[in-house]
Structure 1
């Protein structure tokens, strides 16, 4: 009947209106996220640029600066230039990850050997802080499919993050285990807990905790965001949890990758 058709059409229009409203809200959220991201990028770039400019101006304006002070200013310029380069490179790399422009080179590898390759470059920094490295079940042979270069980068980011937030004489523990067809990697570090409301957001680009007790580390601020995308590219997942006197990052990866060797969008 005509009434029935009108009712059906009315329901269709109502559903379309709801879908349009939902899509509009998502666009507003994405637009806000884009603005927040650009604000964060501007802030992150401004800090090293300001430091470089300040040191340069002091060196240019005063010819009588003692040599040791001059070296200190020059070292600051080099350090901040390196940081600026790291931020820009990470922004570009993350953008490629998010748009599926990074191909994965998948082969069978031994995850223990890959872990050691990632640990080696930062081992001296760990030793400088007298941090104890604990390794659990790393004597077994864990062979599965992954891109070794990307996995080294993932380990480097997670271990580097643990290093930044672990106090002197603290502990970083890496534990591997298998469950069904998945490999489970847990990286624990002693130190301050992450506020519960921050746990889901620490993988966001440039996310900074509002908790004043959390010290913002030096770096690009994109390490965990990149790590999340690298894990997802391997069809896995990553999460952070408070574990007593510290924080545990848990990475779950399948033994066989089911994708087209590209980062999923």
Structure 2
């Protein structure tokens, strides 16, 4: 078959109201994809959709709790009807509240794993038939360096590690359909989550950011656009021989020992 170009595709990006998700949505629209912008509240997505439209792109905002099966099914159906069948999926939505294991409620565990791991499963299952029908697809799951261990968030670290196993299994199962699956594992990236971490520690965010940069080999923290650049490559036709990979976008290697 003729190799598809970006412009022939519809992408879905979850958690796209702000931060990494918004940057990824804007970048994919810049690359020529129509983008379904999913977040918990439709009103929160307006800024992302307007930014895409102002640059001549096509996007629609769809509210959905990614851990809710009914909401996910409806969201994917709406995007397919309004923008065309989705063949690119970026599972970015995530939450990461902190709690010691002995103080962690079952409800918190279920909520964190529900958004970070169940959500990608539900979205991928809903989108896969469109990819299989097209004979082409790109799945990008947003993991984290927390997947190698996070003393402050065992629920989050466990979910992000599970997402890596999910990604590799998808690559093995779906490759025969022309579908690739990869994961991005960001390090410290300027976001609501890192700002919240600074507040919990009683630190000014700029001080927190400088301290983090001192431990990163490239000497700076990440920006949402750093992740968006990587996602852009992974969903491109040129990345067709890259699958089942975990790309650490963290300013240095994660296996320094």
Q: Same-fold call, TM > 0.5?
A: no
Larger Rg, first or second structure (1 or 2): 1
* TM tier relative to shorter chain: under 0.3
Give the TM-score of the pair, scaled to structure 2: 0.23
Give the TM-score of the pair, scaled to structure 1: 0.23
